[in-house]
Amino acid sequence: MFFTVSFYIALALFGLGLLFKVSTWFRSTIWTGTTPFSPSQRILHAVKGIFKTLFSPKCGILLKVFLCDVLVQCRTLKESRLRWVMHMCIFWGFMLLLLLHALEQTITASLFADYASTLNPFLFLRSLFGLMVIAGLAIDHYVMAILAVVMISGFALEATKIGSHSLYQQMVEDYADTDDTRELQSLESFWVEKFGVVSPRVKGPFEEELLAQGGEIHEMSCAACHSRPQWAPLSYGLAMVIKPFALTLDTLNIPVILWYIHFLACFIGLAYLPFSRMFHIMASPLSLLANAVMDRETSHPANIATRQILELDACTHCGTCTQACAVGITFERIPNVNILPSEKIASVAALVAGKKLTDQELLHIQEGLYLCSNCYNCTLVCPVGINLQDLWFNVREALLEKGLPALLLLSPFSLYRGLRRDSIDPRQYIEPRQRAEKAFDDQCKSLDSYGSPIDIRSLDKDFKKTLQGSPRGDSLSYCFTCMTCSSSCPVVLNYDNGSGSLDLLPHQIIHAATLGIRDPIYRSRMLWRCLGCYQCQENCPQKVRVADILFQLKNMAMEHIKPRIQDPEQE
């Protein structure tokens, strides 16, 4: 009765939590332009969009994404084989345990007429899937407490049941087909020898004749429901370790206590799931499917708004987007975590949730959004398919609507807004330059000096002045980070992972130079491995003198380190 009530309470909390989470997808908004949509309108457009997709050629795209990206997780495999193994172990181990074990009476027993949890292959598979989850969590560096308790208590419960004499006695009373004392003794001897039961009455070694008789009775009464416990290797190994204490544990009812712990942990995990980070196990597949068939040009703005809130729950915080970020290097000079996409999305989630953020926190978010070069790398590598680029654009618009000024008007963001001037209501444009800059200066003055946003216009002015004053250096300001130089560079193409092997790619060097960030450029292997082939410069659509600038940067780097060569003690 207690467990039945506990289960239904956990199920009710799970249902309420799931309902609340899904409702936020339709109630919350980042930015949709000048036309607001009510939750009912967004639900209606979502339903229309789903039916329109299911009865169109896009249904094939959904099926492909479901098989490749949801079930096989090909996106993660492209990024890292080790991370793919971790995700597959956790995802498939958890899902198969849920289907095979937790829902055994509903699913497994319905599919297999002779199903019994102690019978192979189910005994072996349950142990295998549990090992998969533990292996996946071991690869990852943080273990979720509830899931750890579920897994550990499950294996410990199985181990104590293997050696429990009281459970063996209960089984004999319920299922044995004989009352003969000699036959029952032979059966018990067989289970002590072959199944690891620890008996207070019979001890080995046993005669072969006695074991043969016990084996015959086992085949008649027990074999239909019990496989050898060795097929559950982890639990059986643990049972052998605790074998000297098995009788004491049995006397203390430890199997019953572990049973309570295991199931209560499962119920707590079920109830807590919608409120935990593990909720992405449900949101991530939906994000992959939604982004496979949706785009800004053809999808209804109400569905775009719903999808973006869903994506905030789908993020796994794996850090893949940060590793691919074209401007992540700026974090070395500007201590603002919102420069990094994986950290920025957490701040966006707090903003959307309506949390009270200080002016300083809002400016940090805006600074991180502004520094984005719109290179699209984060969206391309996201293993759960989040359209991060659209998300950054909409958050920037939302912050501008709140009255926060743009840090600079001449930025990649300004270029984007200019290209989209026909699709953006003029009333949504930012305030005039003078008012915007004055508001920014006033806000910066009101902040403490520690941790306040850095005005990037003041970063290493001498470095920028020297570079821009060099021959062809005036073309530096023409760059809008289209990545053509990096795409055409033979040095970059020589590596499978150019960013990891070269530190900075050509477009990142140009962008860092524009911002006045010197040291990462001088340290980058790309600068010193440049062949001077001029492919980058010849292909640049903005006529930026990329190769000439790289050559000048080498000269500046040598001038920078010359005093240290002449005087090694000079810092």
Which string of DSSP letters, residue by residue, matches 112-155? -TT--TTSTTHHHHHHHHHHHHHHHHHHSS---HHHHHHHHHHH
AA identity, residue 447: L
pLDDT at 43: 92
Per DSSP, the chain holds a count of helices (H) and strands (E) of: 32, 0
Q: Which among 20, 63, 44 has a CA at the least distance from the CA of 303?
A: 44
SS3 392: helix
Q: What is the distance between the alpha carbons of residues 389 and 378, in angstroms, rounded to a whole number?
A: 7
The token duo for 205 is 């070694």
Q: Determine the Cα–Cα distance for residues 320 and 19; give it in Å rounded to an integer.
A: 30
Distance (Å) of CA 479 to CA 139, 409, 472, 507: 41, 15, 13, 9
Q: Where do the H-state alpha helices sit in 372-428?
A: 377-381, 388-401, 412-419
For residue 245 the two structure tokens come to: 């204490």
pLDDT on residue 480: 72
Q: Report d(CA 14, CA 445) in Å as an integer.
A: 47
Write the single-letter amino acid at 255. Answer: P
In order of 178, 186, 188, 493, the CA distances from 181 in angstroms are: 9, 9, 10, 80
Distance in angstroms (rounded) separating the CA atoms of residues 540 and 422: 26
Report the alpha-carbon distance of residue 126 to residue 115 in Å, rounded. 13
Among 565, 558, 484, which Cα is nearest to 522's?
Answer: 558
How many whole angstroms separate alpha carbon 231 and alpha carbon 553? 64
- pTM score, whole prediction: 0.59
- Helix axis angle, 181-194 to 165-175, nearest 10°: 130
Helix crossing, 81-97 with 122-139: angle to 10°? 140
**Does 3.40.1130 match the CATH number of domain 460-566?**
no
**Which tokens go with 131?**
């090992």
How many Å apart are CA 382 and CA 368, to the nearest integer? 18
Measured distance CA(519)–CA(463) in Å, rounded: 10
**Would you call 356 helix, strand, or coil by DSSP?**
coil
| Mean pLDDT (the chain, rounded) | 80
In the chain, domain spans = 157-275, 315-457, 460-566
Q: Which residue has the tokens 């109630």?
A: 27
Q: Name the stretches of the chain with pLDDT < 70.
A: 32-34, 138-144, 405-461, 471-472, 499-500, 562-571
Preceding omega of 453 cis (within 30 degrees of 0):
no
Give me the sign of the Cα torsion angle 263, 268, 274, 275: negative
| Segment 324-352, tens digit of pLDDT | 887 777 777 777 888 889 889 888 988 88
**Residue 418, pLDDT score:** 44
Q: Of 400, 555, 544, 436, which Cα lies nearest the Cα of 486?
A: 544
Q: Which amino acid is at 412?
A: P
Give yes or no for a contact between 154 and 248, defined as CB atoms under 8 angstroms apart: no
pLDDT of residue 567: 58
| Residue 94 contacts residue 281 (beta carbons within 8 Å) | yes
If one counts every other C-beta atom within 10 angstroms of the C-beta of residue 561, the result is 11
For the stretch 57-86, pLDDT in tens is: 888 988 988 998 888 888 888 777 877 888
Cα-based distances in Å from 289 to 84, 254, 371, 465, 488: 19, 46, 30, 48, 32
Distance CA 224, CA 218 (A): 9
- Residues with Cβ within 8 Å of residue 249, at least 6 apart in sequence: 160, 163, 164, 242, 255
Which tokens in the block code for residue 110?
Answer: 């319905």
